[in-house]
Structure 1
Amino acid sequence: MSHKSLGGAIIKGNCPRCREGNIFPVSMLSYRKLSDVHNRCPKCQAVLTPEPDFFYGAMYISYAFSVALVVNVLIILNYFFDDPDVWVYVSTVMVANLILIPVMLRYSKVLYLYAVGKLSYDPSWKAKLTEFN
């Protein structure tokens, strides 16, 4: 059995239990159903949504991502462009936020699932799945 890395699974958006199945049914580049999550992992059948509205807690992580984005954009603009007008700050933050919405939305859910979802990596998930079938 090969050991799948935690970081690689988080970056790819894979299931916390098998680290193979995708958490999301559509690509990050698809704005259609961007926030949808599989109810069960397509590979190991682990429950990815343990209760209705489970991912509401991911809004706190998404908020932290947004605050970090605003702070970084403000620092970069202030440092490289010598304190531009307010409209430059606002428009740059808005454009950066629109571009990064898919990334922030997806990774807030992935991080929340890994942190709070109570699913831990099980390298022998295949044997357990065939045992029940």
Structure 2
Amino acid sequence: MVKGTKLYSIVFNKCPRCQQGDFFVTKSAFNIRNFDKMHTSCPVCGQNYTPEPGFYTGSMYVSYAFYVATIVSSFVLFVAMLGFDEIDLLIGLIPALIILTPLFFRLARRVWINMFVPYDPTAASHPHSVSGR
């Protein structure tokens, strides 16, 4: 994956601006006590990760899209293509979606901030030039 792309920042838990500093405090989404802990700003370039109160409210829609995509693709694969019963799918899908919640939470937040913060390859060399984005 090429550094400088939005996908790089989203997949590797990196700052959307410099793509060097970590976005979340822990690497794993499955550290249950700390899966939602974010740095307040990038440790490398200083990008503010919470530009305004309620900024991440929109990430709930992104998370919802992840859930819908998972449910629809599971239905198509298991019910339509492999012939599983809908009830069997539901029995397996509900625990899977609960287990995936921390992952979807973190991915949705990284997708959301990447929509608004552009990549700046020179950001790491001058960390205090962050505007109030």
Q: TM-score, normalised by structure 1?
A: 0.83
8 Å CA contact 1:73–1:92 kept in 2: the answer is no
8 Å CA contact 1:14–1:20 kept in 2: the answer is yes
Q: 1:47 to 1:94 in 2, by over 3 A?
A: same
Q: Which runs of 5+ in 2 are unaligned?
A: none
Number of the residue aligned with 2:108:
108
Residue 127 of structure 2 aligns to a residue whose secondary structure is: helix
Number of the residue aligned with 1:97:
97
Give the count of matched residue pairs.
126
The sequence identity of aligned pairs, in percent, is 29
Q: Which runs of 5+ in 1 are unaligned?
A: none
| Structure whose alpha-carbon radius of gyration is higher | 1
Displaced runs of 4 or more, over 3 A: none
How far has the Cα of 1:130 moved from its partner? 7.1
Q: TM-score, normalised by structure 2?
A: 0.83
Residue 52 of structure 2 aligns to a residue whose secondary structure is: coil
Number of the residue aligned with 2:126:
128
8 Å CA contact 2:46–2:128 kept in 1: the answer is no
How far has the Cα of 1:8 moved from its partner? 2.1
How far has the Cα of 1:95 moved from its partner? 2.1
